[in-house]
Chain A
Amino acid sequence: MSNSISNMNQVFDKLKDLKTIFKLGEKVIPIIQNLIQFMGEIVPLLETINKSISDSTQKIPQATNQINDVTSATELATTEILDLVDETSNQLMEVDKVIGEIKERDKQANEKFDELVNKLNGDETLVKLINEYKELKDNGSNIDSISETMQKINDNSYKITLSLQVQDITSQQLSAVNHLIESVNDKLTTMVQEIDHSDIKQDFEHISASIPQGVSFDANAKYDPGHDRQDKVDEIVSENQEKATQEDIDKLFS
């Protein structure tokens, strides 16, 4: 008898639990219905987003290739310009050598003129004639002017060399952009793979493989043709060297 009462109590307890669940269900069911409706609306939207991400990501290799093409083109152009600057500098050096020879010959010619004047025994007409001829032959000021111009060309070659280094800096900045694109691509790949493991995954595997790897760059590379950066570096280097000397002194006295 007591067993039957106990069993009945258990049944009542279970019924109470069931009633609680039903009450909860009454509250939850509309939420679930709303959720189902929401899912019904969101799934096509997600598919659209998914497709859009897939389409965009397929364009990433194109973007990275274009960036690489720009780098290669500027690299080639820079090398060509530098070759020309190199050639110009070599030609300037040759001209400079020739000018040196001309100056030496002029010096020798002047010595000969002086010898000649001394041997004319004061014949004023001849001395005057010889001096006029010497003045006409004297190219000293012209040669100095040519040397000055050559020095300016040489200085400009240096400046061109300095300016052309912008190519190296931009190529590092472009590599940093490529690296950023690669990171975005990785994130997108992971995201889309989680949404859909079917055909899109294959697309992404293909895309990931086509992005160049192992490129080294400084994302903070700056083109600053002034001396400020080098001055700061020199300051740090000299500070370091001073520190090292002090440490050495400390060691000696320890």
Chain B
Amino acid sequence: MKKVILVADDSPTIRKFVSFALTMRGFEVVAASDGMEAIEYLPSKKFDLIITDLNMPNLDGFELIKSVRENEEYSEIPIIILSSLAGSDDIEKGMSYGANSYLVKPFDPKRIQYEVAKYLN
């Protein structure tokens, strides 16, 4: 059975890039255009991993991570941040909110495959 990954990013091209990189490795990808949409999608499937951007309208990545970690049902899902923010403050904040990995844009498809495999394989 395919592992399902939820990708939250307001950039359609990044959603496409991530989907491209992961579907070719046999993962199923569900894409959300912001944090709010990601939260709405959570009950619809059993997600094995979440990849989230930080800068997003409506609900940003930090708040999404916080919501996921505060919800018992989803709190164990591994979360990878994928952001163009590369400042130490953002990284430390993201990790302290409960993210498991932090990748910076533009990302190497092989690196994202490696990070996902680290938690799912």
Contacts and interface: CB of A to CB of B under 8 A. Distances in A.
Interface string B1-36: 000000000111110110011001000000000100
Interface in B43-88: 55-58, 60, 83-86, 88
Contacts of A229: 86, 104
A75 B88 CA distance: 29
B57 A216 contact: yes
B12 A164 contact: no
A169 B13 contact: no
A168 B11 contact: yes
Contacts, number: 103
A214 interface: yes
A165 B17 contact: yes
Instruction: Give the interface residue-count category, chain A.
Output: 35 or more
Residue among B60, B83, B88 with the most chain A CB within 10 A?
A: B88
B13 A233 contact: no
A217 B84 CA distance: 9
Contacts of A236: 88, 91-92, 102
Interface in A138-181: 158, 161-162, 164-169, 171-172
A82 interface: yes
B106 to A, nearest CB: 4
A101 B58 CA distance: 51
Interface stretch (A37-45, A60-68, A184-192, A218-226): A218-226
A227 B10 CA distance: 24
Shortest 5 CB-CB contacts between residues of A and residues of B: A165-B106, A221-B84, A216-B57, A218-B84, A216-B55
Given A79-B16, A165-B14, A171-B11, 11 more contacts: A79-B13, A85-B20, A89-B24, A90-B24, A161-B21, A172-B84, A215-B57, A221-B105, A225-B106, A229-B86, A232-B86
